[in-house]
Amino acid sequence: MAWHLGIEFGSTRIKAVLIDESMAVVAVGAHTWENQLVDGVWSYALDDVWAGVQDAYAQMAGDFTTTHGQPLTGIASIGISAMMHGYMPFDADGEILVPFRTWRNTMTAEASQQLTDALSFTIPQRWSIAHLFQAVLNGEPHVPHIRFLTTLAGYVHYQLTGEKVIGVCDASGMFPVGADHQFDRQRLAKTQAIFDSLGASVNLAAVLPAVLDAGANAGHLTDRGARLLDPTGQLAAGIPFCPPEGDAGTGMVATNAVAPRTGNISAGTSIFAMIVLEHELQHLHPEIDLVTTPAGDPVAMVHSNNGASEIDEWARVFGDFAARHGVQIDESALFGGLFEAALEGAADGGGLLAYNYLAGEPITGLSQGRPLIVRTPGSQLNLPNLMRTLIMSPFCTMSLGMRILEGEGVKVDSMFAHGGVFKTKVVAQRLLAAALNAPVTVGETASEGGAWGMAVLAAYAGDSRGLPLGQFLQQVVFADAPVQTLAPDAADVAGYASFLRAFERGLAIEHAAIEAS
Give domain 309-445+487-516's CATH architecture: 2-Layer Sandwich (3.30)
Spans of all domains in the chain: 3-245, 309-445+487-516
For the chain, the average pLDDT equals 93
Span 110-120, average pLDDT: 96
* Separation of alpha carbons 37 and 15, rounded Å: 22
Helix (H, G, I), strand (E, B) or coil at 4: strand
Contacts of 438 (CB under 8 A, 6+ apart): 412, 415, 488
Residue 411 is predicted with a pLDDT of: 85
* Separation of alpha carbons 302 and 495, rounded Å: 23
Can you list the positions of beta strands (E) in 12-74? Answer: 13-19, 25-32, 36-38, 41-43
Q: Tell whether the torsion through CA atoms of 298, 302, 308 and 309 is positive or negative.
A: positive
Q: Dihedral angle at the C-alpha atoms of 237, 240, 246, 251, nearest 10 degrees?
A: -120
CA-to-CA dists, residue 239 to 28, 64, 221, 226, angstroms: 19, 18, 5, 9
Residue 431 is predicted with a pLDDT of: 96
Which of these, 298, 295, 243, 307, lies nearest to 274 by C-alpha position?
298
Q: 368-381: buried (b, 16+ CB within 10 Å) or exposed (e) per residue?
A: ebbbbebbeeebee
Residue 12 is predicted with a pLDDT of: 86
Higher pLDDT, 517 or 124: 124
Assess contact for 176 and 121: CB atoms under 8 A: yes
Q: Is 3-245 a domain of CATH 3.30.420.40?
A: yes
Assess contact for 303 and 295: CB atoms under 8 A: no
**How many other C-beta atoms are found inside a 10 Å radius of the C-beta of residue 383?**
14
Q: Tell whether the torsion through CA atoms of 439, 278, 478 and 428 is positive or negative.
A: negative
Residue 445 is predicted with a pLDDT of: 61
> For 42-96, how does the pLDDT look when each residue is reduced to its tens digit (9 = 90+)?
999 999 999 999 999 999 999 999 999 999 988 999 999 999 999 999 999 999 9
**Residue 307 scores a pLDDT above 60:** yes
**Residue 122 scores a pLDDT above 70:** yes
Q: What kind and span of H or E run contains 494?
A: helix 490-505
**How many other C-beta atoms are found inside a 10 Å radius of the C-beta of residue 194?**
15
Helix (H, G, I), strand (E, B) or coil at 52: helix
Span 489-493, average pLDDT: 97
Count Cβ atoms within 10 A of the Cβ of residue 147 and give its class: 0-12 exposed, 13-18 middle, 19 or more buried: middle
Is there a common fold for 3-245 and 309-445+487-516? yes
Assess contact for 160 and 154: CB atoms under 8 A: no
Residue 67 is predicted with a pLDDT of: 92
* Separation of alpha carbons 69 and 345, rounded Å: 46
* Separation of alpha carbons 85 and 127, rounded Å: 5
* Separation of alpha carbons 98 and 140, rounded Å: 10
Q: What backbone torsions phi and psi does residue 284 show, to the nearest 5 degrees?
A: -85, 130
For a pLDDT cut of 70, what percent of the chain falls above it?
99
**Residue 447 scores a pLDDT above 90:** no
Which of these, 268, 312, 369, 303, lies nearest to 40 by C-alpha position?
369
Which of these, 40, 162, 155, lies nearest to 107 by C-alpha position?
40
Span 114-140, average pLDDT: 96
Q: Dihedral angle at the C-alpha atoms of 113, 118, 122, 124, nearest 10 degrees?
A: -40
**Residue 417 scores a pLDDT above 90:** no
* Separation of alpha carbons 161 and 224, rounded Å: 8
